[in-house]
Structure 1
Amino acid sequence: MITFDEAFDRLISHEGGFSDDPRDSGNWTGAAQGVGQLKGTKFGIAANSYGYLDIKNLTLEDAKVIYKRDFWDVCGDTHPAIKFQLFDASVNHGRSNAIRFLQRAVKVADDGDWGVISQAALQLMDSNDVLLRFLAYRLKFWASLQKFDIYGRGWTNRGAENLLFAAEDN
C-alpha cells in the first residue's frame, strides 16, 4: 500500500516551485485571468483555491499539510494505484473533477460526489480497467482545455509519468 509520504514525494515532482504566470487562471484569486490578485501557485497550491494564503512564502511542509487534509482521502477503500491517481488528479484538477473522472471510469453518474453507488461500482471493476479509463478521461480533459497549447506538454508528461506509476503500482 502506498503511504501518504510516498504519494506526496511522487506528486511534488509534478508540482513546481513558485509561479505567477498571468496566463494561468489558477494564479489569480478570482479564478480567472486578470480577476482578483495575481498571487501565483507554489507546490501546486494555487491562489484560485487558497487565495487567503501567502502563496509565495508557502513552505513544502505547509503544502504537505494541505495535501493530507484536502486531497489524500478522496474516496473510500480502493486499490493503492487508484488512490494515488485520484490524489494526483485532485491536486491538479480539484477534488470534484477528480471524482468525476473516477465516476466516469466506473460507469456511474459523474456528479462529483463520492457515495455508496460510486464505491460499489468501483469495487466491482478490475483495478487495471479503472486505471486505464481514469487516465484516459484525464487526458481527454487536458486536451479539451483552451490553454493546452501553452501547458499541454507539461500536462502530457505528467499523464505519461502517471501511466508509468499505474503500471508499477498495479
Structure 2
Amino acid sequence: MRFRDAVKRVLEHEGGHVHDPDDPGGETNYGISQRAYPEEDIRGMTRGRAEAIYERDYWPVAKDLPIAVRGTVFDMAVNAGRKRAVTLLQEALRSHGSAVAADGRMGPKTLRAAQQIDPRLLRDVYTVHRVRHYAKLAGRRSQRRFLLGWVKRALAWVK
C-alpha cells in the first residue's frame, strides 16, 4: 500500500471541521487537531495540507511495515497518535512471541519482528489490540458514544 492509497482510506474516516467538547484533541479538521498542531489554522485546514502533515508526521511509522498491516498502523497513528499506534503493534507482536519492547518507538527490532509474522495474522491481531484500546477509552463516559465508530474504523482495514 502506498501513501496515496492509505491517506485516501484514512480520510474516509476523518471528517471535516469539528469542535466537539468531548474530543480531547479539541478543534479538528481532516483529523488534524488543534491540540497536536497549535500553530496550524485548523478551521482553514485544507485536505492538501492535512495530507502533507500525514505524510510527514504519521506515514513514517508505517511505511516500511508489511503491506497488509501498513494501512491500519498508519490509520491508528492518525487516530490515536504515533506512539500509541506503534505500542499497539509491539503488543500485537509480543502476543505472538516477539521479544520487542512495547516502548512506542518504531525501530529496526520492531520492523524485523513485524516481517517475521504472517502479515495478515499480524493485521488481524493488531486490529484486536486496536479494538481493545478503544474499549478501554469507552470506559470514560464522555467517550462511549465514539466506540462504535472507532470499532468500524478498525475493522475497515481487515479484508
TM-score normalized by structure 1?
A: 0.84
Q: 2:69 aligns with which of 82, 94, 117?
A: 82
CA distance in 2, matches of 1:132, 1:148: 24
Aligned length: 151
Partner of 1:36: none
CA distance in 2, matches of 1:148, 1:23: 7
Report 1:29-48 matches (<5 A): 40-48=27-35
Deviation at 1:76? 6.3
Partner of 1:114: 106
Deviation at 1:75? 4.6
Partner of 1:13: 12
Q: Tell me, yes or no, if structure 1 residue 92 matches structure 2 residue 74.
A: no
Other structure's SS at 1:26 match: coil
Partner of 1:151: 146
Deviation at 1:18? 0.5
Give structure 1 stretches of 5+ with no counterpart. 28-39
- Is residue 142–residue 148 contact of structure 1 (8 Å, CA) maintained in 2? no
Percent identity (aligned) = 34
Specify the code of the residue in structure 1 equivalent to 2:117.
Answer: M
Other structure's SS at 1:48 match: coil
RCO higher in 1 or 2 (8 Å CA, sep ≥ 6)? 2
TM-score normalized by structure 2?
A: 0.89
Tell me how large the CA RMSD over aligned residues is: 1.3
Deviation at 1:116? 2.2
CA distance in 2, matches of 1:157, 1:149: 14
Q: 1:50 aligns with which of 25, 37, 42?
A: 37
- Is residue 62–residue 71 contact of structure 2 (8 Å, CA) maintained in 1? no
57-66 or 150-159, larger mean C-alpha shift: 150-159
Specify the code of the residue in structure 2 equivalent to 1:24.
Answer: D
Specify the code of the residue in structure 1 equivalent to 2:12.
Answer: S
Deviation at 1:59? 0.5
Give structure 2 stretches of 5+ with no counterpart. 95-99
Runs of 4+ in 1 over 3 A off after TM superposition: none
CA distance in 1, matches of 2:63, 2:8: 22
